[in-house]
């Protein structure tokens, strides 16, 4: 796995926490890691963004934010409203390929969901993933509504021939209700594989060492952690 694209079923599902967690575990194994955020929306220049959270939680040193737009919209709409040129995913893909030559792992965190538009031509993070032959890690909600969003995302990936790295619950609640517990088995059925992880709610408030421990417990073996989906399922059902 040299290039991993982290996408989600929607905005605010935990993509940044999952990106930080995968990064922290890879760095802990001694791997060289580069993290890219092609477009940061919803924040003005000079304000800490998603990459700053990844740096704070994981300690990664090599990061790239290619475009920033103040309005909390899709990258295409936010660029248009700001009167700025949109992020070129073709240029992003070229940079990812270069980074992959000198880093063991390159992680690309998307904005919003898989098919959010980055420019007026309709380029998406799915296009970038396909152009760099990346695996795609899908971050999902635990709550009600997640099943339809997850099914649509996975169907869109399959239609485009994208390689699924796994499905991770971005924020598993401290006190899950019936819907959250029931969704676990259904999410695995949709993905046709066990969960690749479930990070605890509030993980972003932890210090770096505690976050690394939470990442190890919350991510499965393919992502460098010790999360056991069978044990997790038995605990929550």
Contacts for 152-159: CB closer than 8 Å, 24+ residues apart = 152/9, 153/7, 153/9, 153/113, 153/114, 154/190, 154/191, 156/114, 156/115, 156/126, 157/114, 157/126
Identify the pLDDT of residue 237: 82
- 37 catalytic residue (yes or no): yes
CA pair distance 85, 69, nearest whole angstrom: 10
Number of domains within the chain: 1
Q: How far is CA 95 from the centre of its chain?
A: 19
Average pLDDT over residues 77-97: 98
The SS3 assignment for 174 reads: coil
Which residues span the domain enclosing 36? Answer: 3-236
The rounded distance, in Å, linking the Cα atoms of 23 and 116 is 24
Among the listed residues 65, 62, 17, the one whose alpha carbon sits nearest the alpha carbon of residue 44: 65
Backbone angles phi, psi at 67, to 5 degrees: -160, 145
Kindly report, residue by residue over 149-176, the tens digit of the pLDDT. 999 999 999 999 999 999 999 999 999 9
* Residue 129: CATH number of its domain: 3.40.50.300
Looking at every residue in the chain, the average pLDDT score rounds to 97
pLDDT digits (tens, 9 = 90+) for 108-117: 999 999 999 9
**Residue 199 pLDDT more than 70?**
yes
Instruction: Give the model's pLDDT for residue 1.
Output: 56
Q: Kindly name the residue from 15, 37, 117, 130 that is annotated as catalytic.
A: 37
């Amino acid at each position: 796995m040299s290039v991993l694209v982290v996408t989600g079923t929607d905005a605010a599902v935990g993509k940044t926490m999952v990106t930080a967690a995968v990064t922290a575990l890879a760095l802990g194994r001694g791997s060289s890691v580069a993290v890219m955020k092609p477009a940061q929306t919803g924040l003005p220049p000079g304000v800490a963004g998603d990459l700053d959270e990844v740096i704070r939680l994981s300690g990664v040193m090599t990061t790239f934010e290619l475009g920033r737009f103040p309005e909390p919209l899709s990258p295409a709409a936010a660029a248009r409203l700001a009167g700025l040129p949109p992020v070129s995913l073709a240029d992003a893909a070229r940079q990812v390929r270069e980074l992959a030559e000198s880093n063991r792992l390159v992680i690309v965190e998307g904005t919003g969901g898989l098919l959010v538009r980055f420019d007026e031509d309709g380029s998406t993070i799915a296009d970038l993933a396909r152009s760099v032959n990346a695996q795609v890690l899908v971050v999902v909600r635990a709550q009600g509504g997640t099943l339809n969003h997850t099914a649509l995302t996975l169907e869109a990936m399959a239609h485009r021939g994208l390689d699924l790295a796994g499905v991770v619950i971005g924020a598993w609640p401290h006190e899950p209700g019936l819907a959250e517990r029931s969704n676990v088995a259904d999410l695995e059925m949709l993905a046709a594989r066990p969960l690749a992880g479930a990070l605890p709610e509030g993980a972003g408030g932890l210090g770096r060492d505690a976050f690394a421990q939470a990442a190890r417990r919350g991510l499965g073996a393919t992502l460098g952690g010790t999360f056991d989906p069978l044990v997790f399922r038995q605990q929550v059902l």
